Amino acid sequence: MKTMVPNLKNIINHSPSIDKVGVEERCARFQSRSIKNESKWEGLKMVLSMIDLTTLEGKDTPGKVKQMCYKAHHLNDNMSDLPNVAAVCVYPSMVKLAKKELIGTNIKVASVSTAFPSGQAPLSVKLSDTKFAVDNGADEIDMVISRGEFLSGDYNFVHDEIATIKEACGHARLKVILETGELSTLDNVRLASDIAILAGADFIKTSTGKISPAATMPVTYTMLQAIRDHYVATGKMIGMKPAGGISNSKLALHYLVMVKETVGDEWLNNTYFRFGASSLANDVLMQIQKAKTGIYSSADYFSID
């Protein structure tokens, strides 16, 4: 039998049981917070700065990736006081192109990896996938865990695979996607979060966006609690990325309230918090324009992702 990784046994044996009803009630309170207009304006700019614009379709073309990169660094053309988005996220085959299109900007290039979205491939393929993306300039890698191994109880496998991919990332930051819609319970979400953090994740991320449900507030809150507990124990900050299902500004602002009240102001920046939600950018721009001019623009005035 394979020897268990030090500390992993302790994490498995002492992973907290999550009170689902309590978590849902807490999340409902986050959504009941009133946000003053001045705070809303600053919050919307913060949300915009935290978005990873994403295109992850089999029909992706160089033209589509170029268009998305152009949008990423021209969102503030008509409103110069707005920040850029945090990153664009593409398949490994499009990393080199995205990197070229974003020269001279502070926008990161992220790449999915490890046989995204299923994760059903040998480790050799996942390593090749990752190294190809990094060699072509990826600043960040978004990997998926092997949910089948996790649900089978082979937590050592999940840990070791994440640790191996982390090593292959080199300078690139690693976001570990749990695909929480397939983990079934908040207890599983918490355990998977703890394992990913122990294995070296720089970020933990809810979803690929290909499975429903994707990001939810209870799931994100559970993952934030894991991040908070790790910080209390070690002093090390881990990032959080809810992805999929966050398409409007109001919900995004409530997520920021949750972040502030769960882990603190130190996480309210794109170094430690991201939204994986491309359609959110257009809604944020519409809301910002409304806040500045008092007039809503039609969605037709904003590019379709």
Q: What is the pLDDT of residues 170-192, one digit of tens each?
A: 999 999 999 999 999 999 999 99
The arrangement of strands across the sheet holding 173-177 comes to: 52-54, 87-90, 108-113, 140-144, 173-177, 203-205, 239-241
Name the CATH superfamily, with its identifier, for domain 39-301. Aldolase class I (3.20.20.70)
pLDDT in tens, 224-243: 999 999 999 999 999 999 99
pLDDT tier at 300, thresholds 50, 70, 90: very low
Q: Which residues are tagged catalytic?
A: 142, 205, 241
Q: Where are the domains of the chain?
A: 39-301
* Residue listed under structure tokens 């990153």: 87
Q: Is the pLDDT of residue 302 over 60?
A: no
Report pLDDT digits (tens) over 206-223: 999 999 999 999 999 999
DSSP secondary structure letter of residue 53: E
269-280 b/e with 16+ CB inside 10 Å = b?
ebebbbbbbbbb
Q: What pLDDT band is residue 1 in, cutting at 50, 70 and 90?
A: very low
Among 21-35, 80-94, 132-146, top mean pLDDT goes to 132-146
pLDDT, tens only, 98-107: 999 999 999 9
Helix axes 37-49, 249-262, angle to 10 degrees: 90
Mean pLDDT of the chain: 92
Half-sphere exposure of 87 (CA within 13 A, CB side): 27
